[in-house]
Structure 1
Amino acid sequence: MNWNGVFPAVTTKFHADGSIDYDTFFLNLEAQLEGGVKGVILGGTLGESSVLEDEEKIELTQRTVEKLAGRVPVILNIAEGSTAKAIQWAQKAEKLGVEALMLLPPMRYPSDHRETVAYFKAVADATSLPIMIYNNPVDYKTYVTLEMFEELAACDNIQAVKESTRDVSNVTRMKTKFGDRYKILCGVDTLTMESVLMGADGLVAGLVCAFPKETVVLFDLIKARKIDEALEIYRWFLPLLELDIHPKLVQYIKLAEQMVGLGTENVRAPRLTLIGEERERIEKIIQTGIDNRPALASLKTSV
């Protein structure tokens, strides 16, 4: 598994009646590939996994694997409350042709050090798929510490971490302690430049769903240490990237997808589409970004 590059946490597209809109979903997937992403992640927060039935998640995964046909890896997110259910999904994903997993600590129960390590090891031992641990104590309350990663190093297929602690210095801590043992992927859009400059190998992104080309060019410029060119994109991008760190990130990013012609704003309850002053405010942020999109052709030649 190549964990380098940009990996969109893709949204699940819905028709107005709530059914999955595969035509629009695949339209967006093709735009992601055209933009240069290195894989796609299904079933995350942006994918509204919590409101998908198991049968829908299986069908979505199957159809995505078939559609992409090996062009880039498909990564399935696992966020479960029980070890047994997480293992079931890991084994099911392997049968469905998924190339890797993103794995959260146990949901709803804030596991301690021993429990968290045991959970991750149990899932890792049950599959041969490469695993990226999702470390997001801000939203999910469990902090995967350096000491935990030290124990998890015994599991060869635990290969990467989605670094969402909001502490950019944690990239350096991980690199200092483990070298290249774990690939580090920035998981917070608003820390993209800072994290990649500190050594992050990849980016699990949200606004890439609406702006794939800009996200990939930004990442490539930072990797190439073309700082002035990267800053030109990053300063334009930051008001949009801040839509990713709000409880309504799903509604905000889906609205952005709709406004650029790569999706619809339809969500499933309990989420509701935006109305009133909030909608006007978010639309203005997105439209300002659209109206001032940087000229990528000249910037790409710098990479």
Structure 2
Amino acid sequence: MTLDATASGVFPIASTPFHSDGRIDEASVDTLIAGYLKAGATGVTVLGIMGEAPKLEPEESLAIATRFIKGFGKLPVIVGVSAPGLAAMRGLSRAVMDRGAAGVMIAPVPSLRTDDQITTYYRQAIEAIGTDIPFVIQDYPLTLSVQMTPAVIRQIVQEHPSCVMLKHEDWPGLEKISTLRRFQAEGSLRPISILTGNGGLFLDFEMERGADGAMTGYAFPEMLVELVKLHKAGRRDEAHDLFDAHLPLVRYEQQQGVGLAVRKYVMMKRGLIASDAQRKPGAALSPKAREEVDYLLARLSRTGRAC
């Protein structure tokens, strides 16, 4: 499976399960894969920011990516290969593609400030990994502090035929999606897949603006899958009703600093992973925060929309 611009649906951003002592929990990797497949995921993205990729040794990164590639079978696996140095990016990119990955995701380094710096960085990155590897632009200014305008994204896409997808996580970013789709309609931007992140916080309207689906790690991936299906079927009110039921938990999970702790706690409660441990350094939930999440889960369950 090779990633292309027709990709759509839901590609969960996979968390990396750990034991309490920081070792990778391989058994939980397998239960997580099974959970994503049961939820109806179109594919999966591993070694993203919420996958704690910077905390992994190179051999661990490759092992996790390989396990997901094997577990997802014929479904596409995208691997985050962002790194401070291009040599490390090239090494991981070639290794995961050799093992069957569908493509790679590249985020800009946080030091980039001007449009020229951004486009030059992607030019150098693609030169390093090779033009034969399909890649995804990760646009996440809230965390990466790099502002990519629609015009810059268009330039990167037009310069690099191997760019097939944008992971859109700007906030606010609805107008950016509309602008990119307008570029496409006018013929100044070739077709490209747009999947959105931010925990699904704006997915209800992102789909209406032209997104093809979601690439995020919300702890109820089946909700994301169902929402995308409802939108594509033209069932707008039902899609928004489903989204509204999950919104309190989506919002709580999107808190900066503790979002991953919330996500892992919910996934542990759901049996997708055995432990909510993060590899250090990492934030932990207080007893009060856990009680609040339990309350939100109970309320969600009473709505009958917990999927």
TM-score, structure 1 as length reference: 0.90
Q: Does 1:26 align with 2:35?
A: no
Q: Does 1:164 align with 2:175?
A: no
Q: How far apart in 1 are the matches of 2:87 and 2:235?
A: 46
- Counterpart of 1:185 in structure 2 is 195
Mark the runs of 5 or more structure 1 residues left unpaired by the alignment: 297-303
Q: How far apart in 1 are the matches of 2:141 and 2:302?
A: 36
Q: Does 1:12 align with 2:16?
A: yes
Query: What whole-Å deviation, never above 9, does each CA across 1:240-286 have from its counterpart, x for those lacking one?
Result: 21134222111000011011121221111111431232222233223
CA contact under 8 A between 2:19 and 2:25: conserved in structure 1?
yes
1:228-247 matched pairs, under 5 angstroms: 228-247=237-256
Mark the runs of 5 or more structure 2 residues left unpaired by the alignment: none
Residues 18-27 or 61-70, more deviating = 61-70
- Counterpart of 1:254 in structure 2 is 264
CA contact under 8 A between 2:267 and 2:276: conserved in structure 1?
yes
Residues 41-50 or 88-97, more deviating = 88-97
- Counterpart of 2:236 in structure 1 is 227
CA pair 112-295 structure 1, distance change in 2 beyond 3 A: closer
- Counterpart of 1:113 in structure 2 is 115
Query: What whole-Å deviation, never above 9, does each CA across 1:172-205 have from its counterpart, x for those lacking one?
Result: 0110013452211112211001100111012112
CA pair 112-82 structure 1, distance change in 2 beyond 3 A: farther
- Counterpart of 1:95 in structure 2 is 98
Equivalent position amino acid for 2:82 in 1: A
CA contact under 8 A between 1:45 and 1:250: conserved in structure 2?
no
Q: How far apart in 2 are the matches of 1:295 and 1:89?
A: 37
Equivalent position amino acid for 2:176 in 1: N
Q: How far apart in 1 are the matches of 2:43 and 2:226?
A: 16
- Counterpart of 1:299 in structure 2 is none
- Give how far 1:111 is off: 4.2
Equivalent position amino acid for 1:197 in 2: E
TM-score, structure 2 as length reference: 0.89
CA pair 92-49 structure 1, distance change in 2 beyond 3 A: same
CA pair 35-272 structure 1, distance change in 2 beyond 3 A: same
- Give how far 1:37 is off: 0.8
CA contact under 8 A between 1:7 and 1:204: conserved in structure 2?
yes
Q: Does 1:142 align with 2:162?
A: no
CA contact under 8 A between 2:106 and 2:135: conserved in structure 1?
yes
SS in 1 for 2:152: helix
CA contact under 8 A between 1:82 and 1:106: conserved in structure 2?
no
RMSD: 1.8
Q: How far apart in 2 are the matches of 1:18 and 1:9?
A: 20
Q: How much identity, in percent, do the aligned residues show? A: 23
CA contact under 8 A between 2:214 and 2:224: conserved in structure 1?
no
